[in-house]
C-alpha cells in the first residue's frame, strides 16, 4: 500500500467497521484488521453474509461466490473493497 492509498484504506476500514458494528452491536471485541469474523468477533455465518451484502451496497459492487467463501477476517473485507477502487 502506498502512502497515497493509506488514507483511502483508513476511510474504507472505518466504513467496514461501522457496518460490522451496526450488524453485530452486541460484540465487545475490538474490530481490528486481523480480527476473525467468527472466532474473534463472534459473528455467525448468516450475519457474515448480511454484513457482506451491506458492504456490497455501501461500496457499489458484488462479490463473487468464490470470493465470499474466502472472507474470514476484517482484512479480507478491506482487501476485497480496495481491489475494486
Q: Is 78 or 27 the better-scoring residue by pLDDT?
A: 78
Q: Which of 74, 83, 82 is nearest to 16 (CA)?
A: 74
* Average of per-residue pLDDT values in the chain: 90
User: CATH number for the domain including 31?
Assistant: 1.10.1200.10
| pLDDT tens track for 25-62 | 777 789 999 999 999 999 999 999 999 999 999 999 99
pLDDT interval class at 70 (50, 70, 90) = very high
Query: What's the structural domain count of the chain?
Result: 1
Residue 8: predicted pLDDT: 87
Residue 49 lies in a domain: no
Residue 23: predicted pLDDT: 87
Residue 28 lies in a domain: yes
Q: Which of 80, 85, 33 is nearest to 53 (CA)?
A: 80
Amino acid at each position: 500500500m502506498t502512502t497515497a492509498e493509506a488514507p483511502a484504506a483508513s476511510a474504507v476500514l472505518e466504513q467496514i467497521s461501522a457496518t460490522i458494528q451496526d450488524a453485530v452491536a452486541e460484540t465487545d471485541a475490538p474490530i481490528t484488521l486481523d480480527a476473525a469474523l467468527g472466532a474473534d468477533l463472534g459473528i455467525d455465518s448468516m450475519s457474515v453474509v448480511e454484513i457482506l451484502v451491506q458492504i456490497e451496497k455501501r461500496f457499489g459492487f458484488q462479490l463473487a461466490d468464490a470470493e465470499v467463501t474466502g472472507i474470514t477476517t476484517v482484512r479480507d473485507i478491506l482487501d476485497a473493497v480496495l481491489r475494486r477502487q
